[in-house]
Amino acid sequence: MNDWAQQAAELTITRLLPRLEPLLKDDAHREGFMRRLHMHLPRALWHLHRIYGDQFDFFYHLEQLLHTAASYHGERREALKQLDAQREADPLWFKREDAIGAVCYVDLFAGDLRRLHDKIDYFKSLKIRYLHLMPLFMTPEGNSDGGYAISDFRQVHPDLGTMDDLRELTDALRAENISVVLDFVFNHTSDEHIWARKALEGDPHYKRFFYMFPDRTIPDQYELNLREIFPEQAPGCFTYRAEVDQWVWTTFNNFQWDLNYGNPDVFNAMLGEMLFLANQGVEVLRLDAVAFIWKQMGTPCENLPQVHDIIRGLNAMVRIAAPAMLFKSEAIVHPDDVASYIDWDEAPISYNPTMMALLWEALATRQVGLLRHSMTKRYELPPDSAWVNYVRVHDDIGWSFADEDAAELGINGFDHRQFLNQFYTGRFDGSFASGLPFNYNPINRDMRISGMCASLAGLERAEESGDAEQIDHAIKRVILLYSVIIAAGGIPLIYLGDEIAMLNDYSYRDDPVKADDSRWVHRPRFDWERAAGRHDTATAQGRVFTAIRDLIDARRAHPAFSDHSTLFFDTQNESVLGFVRNHRAMILCNFSEQPQKLRRDVLAAYWNIPTATRDLLTGEAFKIPNLFTLAPYDFLWLAD
Ligand code: GLC
Ligand code: GLC
């Protein structure tokens, strides 16, 4: 940023003040708004100028943005303005040891928004602090990519309730100190969104909201460098629409139209949608498919530098109008690119897809080398940001580790992915997993994996065979993976259903709308009957639920678990993952079904072992012997 942006921002504010003031009314928080305007507008202006500066009406657009920010701030409810003040005073709440997250579908978990109220006690029993509700807005009938094709960002899907219900729910959750997280599906709209419908009518203003081409010439040139995201169900990246005789850019499904952020009207409109959601009480926006929002001929159109300018511009505007709201990036890309979005001024929180994929890799190989090596290189983030660590979500598992990291250990990334795909689809000899292939691409032989955590960890097969030891191992694998994400720095995210060891649901195959998308195998209706047995440790769900609950309690009880430092180290045992938290706790996890030996002197090299050590999970004193054994799939949390 430079003096130019500073001066231009000050001039703009002075010039616009008479028009902004009426919007802020007799707002008690007016001063806060003005303070933040002076603080963040130069930053917004700087980024916006980089992408829109060559447009003759640049300052006109800037004024519109300020108008948008001031009007939404003016409409923000008192309770949310108080929340703004609270979050400004304590911005890093998401880094504390009590930051426990969960994610669910409203319909599959509870039926609708109103009935979700009845489940608040369930969230409280797991000490959830951060709740991601899967997309709940208006979508086309039939296939809507699980809600990710949005027809109206301001209307809740009628099956789930109304905007009033959503507001009431966010209020009720906030009263329990649970922050609501929603998706911001901003790379595309559905083809039934009003903007798309107007474009289909030929309205030139709205045609510019999307990418539309009269023939295949330009699409063909772009496609030379584009990756196909859904090669099986939606091949190609463009869709022909006879209504207008045009080809529309559709990175994902053919009914998901990519928005054109080269058009500043789109930026402004989407800022409005964002602030509208903030005013419903949403505290975290998950920036869906963030990597794809800028296109440039001759590039893969992923992770381009302009994406960062857009997100930083949006971030600055949101800080002005609704500072309680945070961005989380969903970038399932090369680890270097994942990291590129993470910053207080961009997206302070981010999924950790590399750790997720490598946890499964370590379970398959019984070796933690690649996980340890990658995390040693890549875990650390800027101090005011955090990972969202997860084992499963609604999407497939892509093996998005860095080939360079693998090569450094003598592993060939391509071959290793082939192995992992074989393993998790159960085709590899000795595999315990029941996963399904997702979007096999015969050209590059890329493939991803669908499946519920417990099924991928072996519970489905083990229960079919009735082998007690296999069942025991499968349950331990689920708990082991959750122990890592709960102990690591950041927000652990529970994919609800995992905590009661739910298995794959194959019924999607009978539904023509879902049958070609295997991700539905891991999107089951929450099984409340199974959940009823969650306190009975004779059942799989009882063992997993109580273990996860105890891990959460142990994490919340010790300051070693705030997100300060997570240092991975070499335990000198290839099957045991080790990391030290905040220099105060040591975590050891055995990724194999064999007992593993560990040496105290090795551990002592990474942790200044306190005189009195405690096992945080039993609460008992644990004196670390010179040589000791970690049982199959067992783990230890040791601290002072
Ligand atoms: C995100 C969602 C995924 C969806 C895609 C397109 O990656 O997680 O489910 O298919 O975006 O919106
Ligand atoms: C979305 C899709 C997922 C894909 C990813 C690629 O997240 O849902 O399947 O792997 O995009 O970036």
What pLDDT does 23 receive? 84
Listed residue (47, 61, 283) closest to 173, CA to CA: 283
**So where are the chain's domains?**
97-185+267-554, 188-258, 561-639
Question: Of residues 330, 446, 460, 498, which has the active-site annotation?
Answer: 330
Q: pLDDT tens across 391-436, in order?
A: 999 999 999 999 999 999 999 999 999 999 999 999 999 999 999 9
* Residue with CA closest to ligand 1 atom 2: 288
Q: pLDDT tens across 579-592, in order?
A: 999 999 999 999 99
* Mean pLDDT computed over 130-149: 97
* Residue with CA closest to ligand 1 atom 8: 395
Judge whether 57 counts as a catalytic residue: no
Q: Are 360 and 397 in contact (CB under 8 A)?
A: yes
Enumerate the H helices of 451-599 as residue ranges.
Answer: 453-456, 459-465, 468-487, 528-532, 540-556
Q: Are 421 and 396 in contact (CB under 8 A)?
A: no
Range of lowest pLDDT (55-64, 86-95, 362-371)? 55-64
Q: ∠471-475-479 over CA atoms, to 5°?
A: 165
* Residue with CA closest to ligand 1 atom 9: 395
* Residue with CA closest to ligand 1 atom 11: 289
* Residue with CA closest to ligand 2 atom 2: 395
Ligand nearest to the CA of 291: 2
Pocket test for ligand 2, best of 302, 354, 396, 450 (most atoms within 8 A of CB): 396
Say if residue 10's pLDDT is above 70.
yes
240 falls in which pLDDT band (50, 70, 90)?
very high
What pLDDT does 56 receive? 83
* Mean pLDDT computed over 294-318: 98
Residues having CB within 6 Å of any atom of ligand 2: 229, 289, 332, 395-396, 398, 448
Q: What is the DSSP letter of 428?
A: S
What pLDDT does 160 receive? 98
Question: Of residues 97, 107, 288, 346, which has the active-site annotation?
Answer: 288
Say if residue 26's pLDDT is above 70.
no
User: CB within 8 A of 333, min separation 6: which ones?
Assistant: 291, 302, 303, 353, 400
Q: Which CATH class is domain 188-258?
A: alpha beta
What pLDDT does 30 receive? 86
Tokens of 309: 């300018």
Cβ of 395 less than 6 Å from ligand 1:
yes
Ligand 2 geometric centre to CA of 300 (Å) = 15
Pairing of strands 326-329, 436-441: unpaired
Separation CA 145–CA 185 (nearest Å)? 11
Q: pLDDT tens across 457-505, in order?
A: 999 999 999 999 999 999 999 999 999 999 999 999 999 999 999 999 9
Tokens of 15: 């010039």
Cβ of 185 less than 6 Å from ligand 1:
yes
CATH superfamily of 97-185+267-554: Glycosidases (3.20.20.80)
Report the chain's mean pLDDT, rounded to a whole number: 96
Listed residue (310, 295, 268) closest to 57, CA to CA: 268
* Residue with CA closest to ligand 1 atom 7: 289
CATH superfamily of 561-639: Golgi alpha-mannosidase II (2.60.40.1180)
Q: pLDDT tens across 245-269, in order?
A: 999 999 999 999 999 999 999 999 9
- Say how many CA atoms lie within 13 Å of 233 toward its Cβ: 22
Ligand 2 geometric centre to CA of 229 (Å) = 6
Cβ of 153 less than 6 Å from ligand 1:
no
Distance of CA 170 to the CA centre of its chain: 19
What pLDDT does 557 receive? 96
1 falls in which pLDDT band (50, 70, 90)?
low
Cβ of 393 less than 6 Å from ligand 1:
no
**Same fold for the domain at 97-185+267-554 and the one at 561-639?**
no
Q: What is the pTM of this model?
A: 0.96
Ligand 1 geometric centre to CA of 289 (Å) = 6
Tokens of 92: 């890093």
Say if residue 571's pLDDT is above 70.
yes
- Say how many CA atoms lie within 13 Å of 607 toward its Cβ: 32
Separation CA 476–CA 134 (nearest Å)? 28
Say if residue 551's pLDDT is above 70.
yes
Which ligand 2 atom lies nearest to the CA of residue 330? 7
Q: Identify the sign of the CA torsion 355, 358, 362, 368.
A: negative
Enumerate the H helices of 391-447 as residue ranges.
Answer: 403-408, 413-424
DSSP element (H, E) containing 9: helix 3-24
Tokens of 56: 């003759």
Range of lowest pLDDT (38-47, 196-205, 225-234, 373-382)? 225-234
Judge whether 26 counts as a catalytic residue: no
